[in-house]
Structure 1
Amino acid sequence: MKRAAAIVAALFACVPLSAAEPIQGRWVTGEKDAVVAIAPCGPKLCGRIDRFLVAPPKGVDQRDVNNKDPALRNRKLLGMAILSEFTEESDLWRGTIYDPKSGKTYRSVIRRKGANVLEVKGCLGPFCQTQTWQRAR
């Protein structure tokens, strides 16, 4: 009986747990217009606009003019969190993503698709849109 228990324990030790691959780092958005830096924000992860690759209409001082909340329309896009409250869940990360172009926030799922690729999905109800983000160099 002890031998059977030892074999079962050894088998479980060899099976990797299904954990999400880390997503921290600097990533070029799917539209290739900005670099987003993903890092811890307290116990969760968030992603802030680190730099623009394509200048917004008002330049690097662009404000969040499309936000639904008038009180937030004066905040700068550069440095602003567009990924919020991401937590690890099995083999992916769940949180919310904010689109400054539309001023809307969506449920989001992020998966690593290799060392240099993220699959970033934003969803409204059952409808989702997926982008591929590349690791910034």
Structure 2
Amino acid sequence: MKRLLIAGLGLAAAAAFAQTTPVGLWRNVDDKTGEAKAEIRITETAGGLSGRIEKILRKDAKPDERCNECADERKGQPMVGLEIIRGARKADGKDVWEDGKILDPENGREYRLRLTPVDAGKKLEVRGSFGPFGRTQTWVRAQ
């Protein structure tokens, strides 16, 4: 009985820890309309975190939409599958991932990235900045 209790507590702790990382499926929400725009899957790679658009949710989205504003190798690539997050790493001693880049496919610009899980990992604060300027979006974990 004691072993089952210890195993159960270990599994619960592992599940709670897994939810406090940015790894997983997220919905980003338009700052102005409050509508979900896309689902982004964040994975962990040897080079840090990577995030790709898995699904476009905007009502006016075209199925063959491409990143025409991108300036690097992503130019002309389909939006679905497009890598928009690159290289963020966990900061020492904090539940924050930084030093990566995030691409805004609507304007083709890349920004310095900071990811902070909040609300027990149910939400993710996504901060993109350029010099002293930036903005933070709150993404919601997709179920």
Q: TM range, normalised to the smaller chain? A: 0.7 to 0.9
Which amino acid is 1:82 matched to? I
Larger Rg: 1
Supply the distance in 2 between the matched residues of 1:43 and 1:109 (Cα, whole angstroms).
16
Supply the distance in 1 between the matched residues of 2:52 and 2:63 (Cα, whole angstroms).
14
Corresponding residue number in structure 2 for 1:100: 105
**CA deviation string 1:79-123 (max 9, x = no partner):** 111011010003300111000001000001010112310000000
Supply the distance in 2 between the matched residues of 1:129 and 1:49 (Cα, whole angstroms).
20
* TM-score normalised by the chain length of structure 2: 0.74
Supply the distance in 1 between the matched residues of 2:127 and 2:60 (Cα, whole angstroms).
23
Corresponding residue number in structure 1 for 2:37: 33
Which amino acid is 1:53 matched to? L
What's the Cα RMSD here? 1.6
- The answer to whether residue 52 in structure 2 is matched with residue 53 in structure 1 is no
Which amino acid is 1:109 matched to? R
Supply the distance in 2 between the matched residues of 1:98 and 1:61 (Cα, whole angstroms).
19
**Aligned pair in 2 of structure 1 residues 108, 134: CA closer, same or farther (>3 Å)?**
same
Contact in 2 for aligned 1:56/1:62 (Cα 8 Å): no
Please, which runs of 5 or more residues in structure 1 have no aligned partner? 1-20
1:39 Cα shift?
0.5
* TM-score normalised by the chain length of structure 1: 0.77
Corresponding residue number in structure 2 for 1:130: 136
**Aligned pair in 2 of structure 1 residues 29, 79: CA closer, same or farther (>3 Å)?**
same
**Number of corresponding residues:** 115
Please, which runs of 5 or more residues in structure 2 have no aligned partner? 1-19, 31-35
Which amino acid is 2:102 matched to? I
